[in-house]
Homo-oligomer: A and B are copies of this chain.
């Protein structure tokens, strides 16, 4: 496995392969790789001839009171996973190479970024959209893979690629979960054993919402209140938002549609959890 730190060297590597007709896959990560990343890497390994994993803890997508400095950076562990999974290049640009003096350009995707995570984290998605555009410029992948856990991010990246004609095929893969159902996240290591046990209640709430939809309920208020009740049953969790929304626009729905997304965020101690479930409601609907 090659370790490349220079953006110019990364581009040169990719351009050389592109001229030979090789299909290049990219899994962009902030490191601290877990089973969710591993599943993206394995899928990319199947779908692409050459595989790049980028590791870059992007400062511009963290808020001023967020966990940028304490975000885990277990680099040798991450490289070992990449080696195990047959990654060709581990791309590790420095903050200085990514944002040299004078850097100023920002990519915004305003409608997708407005709600949910965008409200909770005001500059987060501008940081994500900009760094993804830059990573695509540096790596020149044919295809890039993202996890469904960050659902709004995956919608944003798809919109961005379409709007700016970046020509990268975006693949979104299902959330990988712990045995009890908690969505895998690099931030789960912040949870105390006690918080860790309780954290799964966010997912339980979403599951309840999905169950209510499958019984035929179509009123979003009733679905939301069922989810809320489950999560409020665990008082250590504070709900940030719980939404029944359209999976393409992320706008809230008043009535469930054939494809509906349940989206949630909650805090436990100092940790913020996000999760989502996509539900196909057709089978369960009362009036078909």
Contact = CB atoms under 8 A, between A and B. Distances in A.
A133 B133 CA distance: 10
Interface stretch (A75-83, A105-113, A261-269): A105-113
A133 B130 CA distance: 13
Contacts of A65: none
A63 B128 CA distance: 29
A246 to B, nearest CB: 12
A61 to B, nearest CB: 16
A138 interface: yes
A174 interface: no
A158 to B, nearest CB: 11
A19 interface: yes
A149 B206 CA distance: 58
A209 B15 CA distance: 46
A103 B164 CA distance: 9
A143 to B, nearest CB: 15
Interface residues of A, number: 30
A184 interface: no
B134 A164 contact: yes
A194 interface: no
Nearest to A138: B165
B108 A106 contact: yes
A138 B112 CA distance: 23
A18 B105 CA distance: 27
Given A19-B18, A19-B21, A137 B166 contact: yes
Contacts of A167: 11, 137, 140
Interface string A131-175: 001100110100000000000000000011001111100000000
A129 interface: yes
A123 to B, nearest CB: 13
A171 to B, nearest CB: 19
A16 to B, nearest CB: 11
A104 interface: yes
A159 B109 contact: no
A7 interface: yes
Interface of A: 7, 11, 18-19, 21, 102-112, 129-130, 133-134, 137-138, 140, 159-160, 163-167
Given A104-B163, A140-B167, 6 more contacts: A104-B111, A105-B129, A105-B159, A105-B164, A106-B110, A134-B163
